[in-house]
Amino acid sequence: MSDRAAAARRRRLVWKGLEAAILLGMLFLILFPILWMALTAFKRPVDLFDLTILFTPTLDNFRTIFGAPWNIGRTLLNSTIVAGLTVLISVPASTLAAYAFSRFEMPFKGALFFTILATQFIPAVVVVLPFYLLFRDLGLLDTHLALVVVNLAIVTPFATWMLKGFLDAVPTESEEAALVDGATRLRVILDVVVPMIWPGVVVTAVFCFILTWNEFLFALILTRDDAVTLPVGITRFRTERGDLWELIAAAGILISIPMFLLASVIQRHFVRGMTGGAVK
């Protein structure tokens, strides 16, 4: 009997050890690529392929990418403008639509909501072909406007879905009270509803900002010089002279840090972004 208990205890101990080993392995896998990139960003080219972590750190790479000919500051600005404008247009529009979907009945509501949501499954490459031709004819290739327009296609369905989830969870009493007091519906939305779901609006805006910031395909096809955003900008460091890894890493850190911060801010709600409240 005590033999069996001892065996069970041993088995539990082995299992605990195994669990810890798996978790440590996972931690390593998740963090290592990020840490390696961070280290590489501070390396001189001669230390690049040294696998040691003992090297003389330098800020030269950051200095280089901000200087000519790379001018990453410009790219950074482009990314900020495109992601910012996209969010500023799509989040208000999505809030209004989500409110209507959440509070009103209407014919074809199901079909309409379904259509808006289904569009997020469309591959970006099928959307970009006609836009490429249109923007080429209009002379709008390589502009912020072009990128904002196509990014709206990606972001608006997500935002509508996320915001409807937040709106559904809010009680309607205070809205109804304000309506009875004679306020118009639009005033109620602005003064009562939006303040109540403000955290949800922020989470949605941040999520959409991250999506747009990281977007690659549209920027690759629709920009050349003036409106290039960061994800395409980093591919510029792969030159004919070879890949300038230390510069790629420095730019990579620059792209990622703001997104890490934003993602941590909305951590708890991050998952809703893709699953739209299907999984809480």
What residues numbered 145-184 form the site for other proteins, per CB under 8 A? 149-150, 152-153, 156-157, 160
80 binds other proteins (CB under 8 A): no
Residue 210 has a CB neighbour count (10 Å cut-off) of 20
Alpha carbon distance 209, 84 (integer Å): 7
Q: Which amino acid is at 102?
A: S
Q: Which range of residues in 36-44, 54-62, 68-76, 192-200 is near other proteins by CB under 8 A?
A: 36-44
Beta carbon of residue 189, minimum distance to other proteins (angstroms, whole number): 8
100 binds other proteins (CB under 8 A): yes
196 binds other proteins (CB under 8 A): no
Residue 239 pairs in a beta bridge with 242
Q: Reply yes or no: is the peptide bond before residue 57 cis, omega within 30 of 0.
A: no
State which of residues 1, 2, 4, 51 lies at the interface with other proteins (CB under 8 A): 51
What is the 8-class DSSP label of residue 46? G
Q: Which range of residues in 56-64, 68-76, 139-147, 252-260 is near other proteins by CB under 8 A?
A: 252-260
Beta carbon of residue 140, minimum distance to other proteins (angstroms, whole number): 14
8 binds other proteins (CB under 8 A): no
* Contact string 127-146 vs other proteins (x = CB under 8 A): xxxxxxx-------------
186 binds other proteins (CB under 8 A): yes
Q: Which range of residues in 2-10, 58-66, 91-99, 195-203 is near other proteins by CB under 8 A?
A: 91-99
Residue 73 neighbours by CB under 8 Å, 6+ apart: 66
- Which 3 state secondary structure label does DSSP give 42? coil
State which of residues 42, 70, 99, 135 lies at the interface with other proteins (CB under 8 A): 99
213 binds other proteins (CB under 8 A): yes
Q: What are the start-end ranges of the H helices in the chain? A: 2-41, 60-66, 72-103, 109-118, 124-138, 144-168, 173-180, 185-188, 194-196, 198-214, 217-222, 230-233, 245-265, 272-275
Q: Which range of residues in 63-71, 139-147, 193-201, 245-253 is near other proteins by CB under 8 A?
A: 245-253
Alpha carbon distance 100, 167 (integer Å): 10
Hey, what are 238's tokens? 């792969």
Q: Which range of residues in 2-10, 61-69, 90-98, 195-203 is near other proteins by CB under 8 A?
A: 90-98
